[in-house]
Chain A
């Protein structure tokens, strides 16, 4: 039988199972903490910082911090919301996120978070990157200027032998995620669709189905991101 851990998020009592992180425990208890690089079933690494919360008065990434008894966690304060908003703004200006021209618009997690934290305009100057599009594969294209380097595709899209379809290329400011050209030719249809779905932004696009869903019926058109988790 697993041991129960009790702690508080914004004053609400949370009951976690032993070994759960703050994000997982919060989700089970109806509290939404935003995540971008973190993905269910993948070992968390806390690189995007969007899940930052205050634990006993210190900023911690809740995807990597295990739940511990008696912790005082703050998730919904003005300070944390502004921190998250600034991270979203930085992601918006460091790539080319032209929402009106993006196939993922309406289903994009980054956009959903911008809506949630009411980003009207980024406070930072735009970089207008130009890395271009890699569209050599038959099913998928990779829009490099939209990639936020979250590594979700690298860690979740693998063939039967566990070989990854996506990998890092270059270093530093030139770092980008690319798809293996040979493997991209034979990617199964279902896996290709999964790759587009797992991408939190519009960087991985399944070809020839862009803009299939009309405005008003997409994921974040009417419902805010995380509203399915929040019970109150």
Chain B
């Protein structure tokens, strides 16, 4: 059996879900027997070099770059997995939903209690910077997502079981303790 190809990315996330992938401990040695990584922060490959079997998305979409990356994952991956609460429901970044963007930016760069160094009151507006979206969106509201693994972060056992089930084609066993939202 040829190795399955995996790609991962972190959109509006904290990399905690990627940490949880590493939390499978020594099973990572079994994992590299089963899969090869393509575009991912794990191996630092920046662009897709071939069609990928499984794409793992951490984080929701808070700006235009997130949407672009997510769409490229959908185009290049056969199966997409939303990993963690942020990818599934926006998570902590989505706490800004309902607050006008202008207010968020002013709080971050001008009015916030920890802002000390911005005396000229400059707001970031470089053309290179991705535009913020009006809300933080869950990934499945932007593209079709095939599977969802909840948790903040998802338990390493859940990630491991899901990957093994997908790769081997067996049904997944879901013990009560591994599916948690926090």
Contact = CB atoms under 8 A, between A and B. Distances in A.
B167 interface: no
B95 to A, nearest CB: 7
Given A115-B179, A118-B174, A129 B98 contact: yes
Contacts of A106: 182
A111 B135 CA distance: 24
Given A115-B180, A130-B99, A221-B180, A100 B141 contact: no
Interface string A87-104: 000001000101111100
Given A120-B150, A128-B97, A100 B181 contact: yes
B58 interface: no
Contacts of B177: 221-222
Nearest to A119: B150
Nearest to A227: B176
B164 interface: no
A121 B91 CA distance: 13
Interface string A185-222: 00000000000000000000000000000010000011
A99 B181 contact: yes
B92 interface: yes
A100 B151 CA distance: 8
Interface size on B, as a range, is 20 to 34
A24 B19 CA distance: 46
B158 to A, nearest CB: 10
B92 A126 contact: no
Contacts of B9: none
B89 interface: yes
Nearest to A99: B181
Interface residues of A, number: 25
Interface in B107-161: 135, 138, 140-141, 147-150, 152
A121 B98 contact: no
B61 interface: no
B82 interface: yes
B85 A100 contact: yes
Interface in A151-180: none
A-B pairs with lowest CB-CB distance, top 6: A130-B98, A99-B181, A100-B152, A128-B97, A121-B148, A120-B148
Interface of A: 92, 96, 98-102, 105-106, 111, 114-115, 118, 120-122, 125-126, 128-130, 215, 221-222, 224
Interface of B: 82, 85, 88-92, 94-95, 97-99, 135, 138, 140-141, 147-150, 152, 174, 176-177, 179-182
